[in-house]
Amino acid sequence: MISAYLNLVTRIHQELRELERVVARAERAIQAARERPEDQDLYIDSAALNLHDFYAGLERIFQQIGSTVDGHIPTGHNWHRELLQQMQSDLPDLRPPVLSTEVTNVLDEFLRFRHVLRNVYAFQFDPERIARLVNQLRPTWAKIQTELTTFASFLEQVGK
């Protein structure tokens, strides 16, 4: 178990580095959409894809925590939402909450957007919603980084 926790720490830090790139790409896409209105739809599509990748990357971390630490990953129709809620849970004698209630609530909107993105055509995207989510991305990302880094530190302590 100790080596599994230390391996998980490495995976969390690797995923965090990749997610930083995703956040920056989404921000660049929205900036380009503002600067080049004639190609706005293409940049909005790019921003939407990166918003999807942002949540998908976080969800990979959550799944790894669920399987390695919690010993459980939800299944069924609402497994995505249940996994997010699981990360907010305090599991006594196992682990502290991975995410705060505040971050979980914000991430729920990114989860809902991920669902929309997967179920509509790109030309149906709401550019205002995408721009709003991208504008929320950096402050949300800062909080998530702090919380996941804190959790990784907990795993390192347990793993030693």
What pLDDT is stored for residue 138 in this prediction? 96
pLDDT digits (tens, 9 = 90+) for 2-57: 889 999 999 999 999 999 999 999 999 999 999 999 999 999 999 999 999 999 99
Burial 55-90 (b: 16+ CB within 10 A, else e): bebbbebbebbbeebbeeebeeeeebebbbebbbee
Q: What is the domain-level CATH number for residue 143?
A: 1.20.120
Report the number of distinct structural domains present in the chain.
Answer: 1
pLDDT digits (tens, 9 = 90+) for 94-145: 999 999 999 999 999 999 999 888 888 888 889 999 999 999 999 999 999 9
Band of the pLDDT at 89, cuts 50, 70, 90?
very high
Instruction: Give residue 115's domain range.
Output: 2-159
What pLDDT is stored for residue 1 in this prediction? 59
Q: pTM for the full model? A: 0.93
